Structure 1
């Protein structure tokens, strides 16, 4: 047996097969190490993917909630215009009818010959039918029970509250959606209580914009509905004045000018009847920030400070790097940005108005979308480090609540604080300023990988 082993080793030595075997073993070891590195990298990539997916989901959800709020406010604008238009029609329908009827009677002459038979028939036909008296009673009853101002106040309060509340609604929706999609914390800028960027960028217009006069029929579908209602009521008066005595050939609809009802509308519409319009309607950086949100997501990955760090960390005996150049301690951050948007394709063609007071005021066509962190030639009016610091005023408290609510196991609060300091000290300060890009100034985050 000894001789067999000796001869085998001697044969390997002569043919250098031992070196080949060692080379194969070394290759297998290298492949195994590469596989371990790829596996460890996949853990980090998976964590980053989860964090980024959560940030996108949270940002999109927040923008969708804000877009829904804008659409609800647009619906309320339609309600205001409808209430104002219908009430204004009833205010002036009977007075205009009475003017017409008295004019018919004034043209009816007395004597053996009368050349205005049509006017006489209209005068006495309506009188016999009782329309002037019955409609006067109905008109007085309408004025006595009119709740125009209360209805407009209710809609105005709803719009004003929703303008402020939408920011909190959006943050809550972003938190829930983000955590359900893999994040352990979601925070955002602007904070809901940020008076400049938090609430929806809405302002009250002029009460006269709820009248029918600012926009022609092609601009305002509500105008058509109101005019149909207008003519339907006058047609009812005409039918009643011609059916019973059968002597009136013309009803008031042919003689009353609709423009009369427009004259007093701006004077009669209360301040609460003013529609809300979008005050951030341009593509300036200021307005885009008012229509958008920055969302940061945090993924708790304790292995980053354990196995993964130990596998690839510098050996402490040779070199100990300062903490401000090391990777985040126990978590992964990601950022996303979203906005609520009114595409031109959602707006009917208009004739007179454009911009903030355009048709969007009465057309719910807003929707939410994900957008790049920074567009070409866009310089955010607020630096990223200031955004992140403001988000933490709400985010720290929300984070602890989220960690407890969603039961994050073995959560390292000290590591979380270190990760926040890392972002404040290293990351966000580097995300501000402009750079020269071939003669064109571009923000440093333009094209930034998230």
Structure 2
């Protein structure tokens, strides 16, 4: 029988030593509120995309200290026996609220709020940040690429450029942000994402001639396949491709050289050969800037790999998980906050609302600690976990649709690729 992999040790050593010390001081069972937020948006970007919430819920379900985990901690002297006894019975029993996946966030947006005892909530810090920092970074980069591509589809194809598990998460985040498909079959299985792919240069090089390679691919996959035409000579490959597949050839892929010039030449050649409906797909280290530069080229779709899975220069979303309120000896929650130079935080249990202008576009991110409910404000925090049980699951398709809708309500300059300020201001009340 396959053992369900625990997520309990996807954490940092100091989470457990803090727990041990808090158990000894008696503070471990105080009610506490932790908050996930970004002090800034990386790379001068205008908005961030919430992604990974569903994966956080998956990890929470598997956050259990079984015999193997406890034996490891005991053998290596990580924590003492009273702490091991606590961990053996660990179950998160608190509440979690968060922005919905696909929604946007801005500096200081409280995208996830974790309420429970200190002991319960502090243990979730590292695994929560691991998921959200990765997935939000990928989704934010993917959203910029989708905006740059306009209505042209993008295939996610970065699996070989990152960790094997990160590749699956990246495919999920990219699809959420508007990519049309992925090359990763595990992502297809786990998240029902459409998959795509045909052949690499190795397939052409395997055969004695390019013609033989194309003949084999067409015989196997039919004329509605995509032939890679830049292994040798692009013009000759296009002639061979149309000669073999005829006007039903679905697409050709260009993976090197000056993509804009090559696409123009190939389009003219395809049209001259009567293959008016054959599409042109381009790949080769694309990012949002390269995609934007190809806007006027006769390109029908893109494949993006390395830049996507590395966040296009921002591989982390710069999210932090901070204690913002704790229970006093009188049983009340009081705000707490860091005063560190350059790393301040705002204390207090927060609620967040998005204010809209008369046209229904986003105008302000309002974060409150006063209980104020602004007239017309759209609440952003939704119940994800109640008394330890996940209640906020939703299909990935809903998050994808939410993101597509949210983007339409941004100010126009928010889609600019240049460095700038957040698209809307964050205000506090």
Could you state the TM-score of these two structures normalised by the residue count of structure 1? 0.22
Could you state the TM-score of these two structures normalised by the residue count of structure 2? 0.22
Whose radius of gyration is greater, 1 or 2? 1
